[in-house]
Amino acid sequence: MIVRAGVAETRSIPGKIVEDYGTSQQAVGEDLGRNWAPIRRWAVALDDGRLVFVDDNDLEIAPV
């Protein structure tokens, strides 16, 4: 996978999905009781050592 979210700025950063929090998103829905720190679907370990949390639209399939 390649992350192209805020942590990546304008470049894409390769990484590996390590967890899917999709069921947590469904259980909570839009009613978090706050407007900060939304639940992101994917936990991704980037190749540079960082762990980031992103949604589907922040990922792309890495070329083989």
Q: How confident is the model at residue 56 (pLDDT cuts 50, 70, 90)?
A: confident
Cα–Cα distance, 17 to 36 (Å, whole number): 23
* Right CATH for 2-60 from 2.30.30, 1.10.3470, 2.102.10, 1.10.260: 2.30.30
Question: Full-prediction pTM beyond 0.85?
Answer: no
Q: Are 58 and 4 in contact (CB under 8 A)?
A: yes
Three-state SS string over the chain comes to: CEECCHHHCCCCEEEEEEEECHHHHHHHCCCCCCCCCCCCCEEEEECCCCEEEECHHHEECCCC
* Residue spans per domain, the chain: 2-60
- pLDDT tens for 9-38 read 567 888 899 998 887 666 665 666 766 767
Amino acid residing at 35? N
Q: What is the pLDDT of residue 58?
A: 84
